[in-house]
Homo-oligomer: A and B are copies of this chain.
């Protein structure tokens, strides 16, 4: 009988899970199970006083009602004005009575247009909690922040939270094509159902906006950087407008990618030369047309003269010419141009890692005010680990924004659990030394290093139409964490993991503690089993799924993994020191010195900067070969340990998500062994050495691994 009961309960739980938990992201608003806390919350939240009337205000109110209803299980009463005590008062500055404004004092001076204040105040000797801001969107951010206090079981007594985002543009880049395929998408297909737009508003658009607003994301680029000009035609702009209308009250601006050759493709012009008057006018008119539909349109993201995309260089012009021409088009409407520095050319025999710096650094100070240059976190391409991009700090007269990848193109797609905020943090807290010690990448990004007002962080989205949005339940944490770091690039990734786990799963410490640890380790695990010690870009080509260090037959040298690891019988690694390509010289001298010398170069970046012999002695005394092999093994062991940890948390997780993660970790474990075995067998050809003790022997041959083909791997 007992077993039947258990089956039954599991089923009920699992049904509700599929329908709700996976979809609800970090906005579960689970019931507060700590009785003392629940009672504290109820005492202090005896109703809502809602002072605004805008669409955004209505959303703030609904969210508060929904959150409190679900967490405290009673409907909060809503009042149009303050009565009694222990109310939560919600409204922007202009809606507040002078008495309340007085209670806030000078706090408004401490926040920007998107900041908020959450404050315990006393009015006529009655205690209340106030959520306010200069604007309604700030109030909404405050509401989400306040709800998060409850979600994470924090006290709400004596509140005095004054917060404002440290960057202006906190934006998702969707590499979504018009046919709904998603380049590097591993969570199904594009959310944007262009066929049914503009007349059908999918509830997911609303829930997407809600999730983004809850972490402070305020922009979205709807389309792939490998752009299609059709998005700029009236047929599609009507659809974009419909999405912009949905997103607006959530504080989210819509941006598009601009295909540089659009004036030819949809404009009927013979050229897209940025110096051509007709071309410039075409873009001006196009901008006017867009802004007529979408007055708060954000602007354009542009990938030009990179990987075959058209650009100003097709006409003998340069990036500055291209960017500034577009900047002029959107400037009258307050738009910005996000111009990507991710460029490399098959005609440039230089180390690919050097090309973006070489091409862009000389342009410093030449871009118009409303241009921001978008730089990937590293100089290659979203690897499990890269040293920070040398452009950070190197263009003091130019606003630079960060481009992180949230989707796991090179990190196991959506089957590997990798907590990316750890990676983001590592980059953001890197010291560029460009203005001496403490010139952190974060300070470049938030504009404080060089006093820039236009700032931003972009994340290449991992969102698709999978029921759980991101393919892997834990990949939701990467979306969440990206948003939180875009808001405040100085946040600690562990704190973010803690928040996310509590909001998404449970406040039970027996769950939180081990799982947080598992998340924090997960990034190092993927580095270990894929690309330890500074190895990079040895994934199979095209789809980037699984190992392919042997690939050497692609037309462009820098598309081949052998270009990056340069393994031979003498050793392995890419010499970017002054004995090699001298890429290290692109860093500030303090950093250059460290990277340039194998003895001082951090071992995690060793093979990124140096070609060293198989017998090179690592700091722990091991030879490079042995150390590398043991790192691969360590990665596998870490995944095994992640499985162990997860299995122990079964009592604390709903059956559905438990099972999902369990299955995914099984895949990750299998694939970590695939990585280890394929890479070690391949590199062993050059090292000619045995695997050290402690490294498991491969069960398959190198030929087997080389024979694996994945013609329909997603995202390609």
Contacts and interface: CB of A to CB of B under 8 A. Distances in A.
Interface string A94-126: 000000000000000000000000000000000
A339 to B, nearest CB: 27
Interface in A178-217: 178-180, 186, 188-189, 194-196, 199-201, 203-204, 207
A4 B78 contact: yes
Chain B CB within 10 Å — which of A1, A199, A230 has the most?
Answer: A199
Contacts of A58: 7
A279 B583 CA distance: 58
Interface of A: 1, 4-5, 7-8, 11-12, 14-15, 18-20, 23-24, 50, 58, 61-62, 65-66, 69, 75, 78, 80, 178-180, 186, 188-189, 194-196, 199-201, 203-204, 207, 230, 413-415, 465-467, 656, 660, 663-664, 666-667, 670, 711-714
Given A1-B78, A465-B188, A714 B195 contact: yes
A19 B8 contact: no
Nearest to A545: B195
A580 to B, nearest CB: 38
A413 to B, nearest CB: 7
Contacts of A180: 189, 712, 714
Contacts of A66: 8, 11-12, 15
A8 B58 CA distance: 10
Copies in the complex: 2
Nearest to A17: B203
A230 B711 contact: yes
Given A20-B20, A466-B465, A8 B200 contact: no
Contacts of A5: 78
Contacts of A20: 19-20
B61 A4 contact: yes
A77 to B, nearest CB: 9
Nearest to A29: B15
A4 B711 contact: no
Given A4-B61, A62-B7, A80-B1, A12 B69 contact: yes
Q: Which of A196, A413, A414: most chain B CB closer than 10 A?
A: A196
Contacts of A663: 199-201
B194 A65 contact: no
A62 B195 contact: no
Contact of A199 (B50, B65, B666): B666
A12 B656 CA distance: 23
A541 B346 CA distance: 41
Given A15-B66, A78-B4, A188-B465, A199 B712 contact: no
B189 A413 contact: no
Contacts of A8: 62, 65-66, 75, 78
A195 to B, nearest CB: 5
Nearest to A664: B200
Given A7-B61, A12-B66, 17 more contacts: A1-B80, A8-B75, A11-B62, A18-B23, A19-B19, A19-B20, A20-B20, A180-B189, A186-B195, A188-B188, A196-B415, A200-B663, A200-B664, A200-B667, A203-B467, A203-B660, A465-B467
5 nearest A-B pairs in the assembled complex, by CB-CB distance: A18-B203, A19-B20, A178-B712, A199-B667, A200-B663
Contacts of A65: 8, 11
Contact of A207 (B18, B207, B711, B714): B18
Contacts of A670: 199
Nearest to A14: B203
Contacts of A186: 195
A195 B461 CA distance: 19
Contacts of A61: 4, 7
A265 to B, nearest CB: 12
Contacts of A15: 66
Contacts of A23: 18-19
Nearest to A195: B714
A415 B465 contact: no
Contacts of A204: 18, 467
Contacts of A11: 62, 65-66
Contacts of A714: 179-180, 195
A534 to B, nearest CB: 29
A70 to B, nearest CB: 9
A372 to B, nearest CB: 30
Contacts of A199: 663, 666-667, 670
A373 to B, nearest CB: 31
A38 B278 CA distance: 74
A669 to B, nearest CB: 10
11 contacts: A7-B61, A8-B62, A12-B66, A18-B23, A18-B203, A19-B19, A19-B20, A195-B714, A200-B415, A204-B467, A465-B465
Contacts of A203: 14, 18, 467, 656, 660
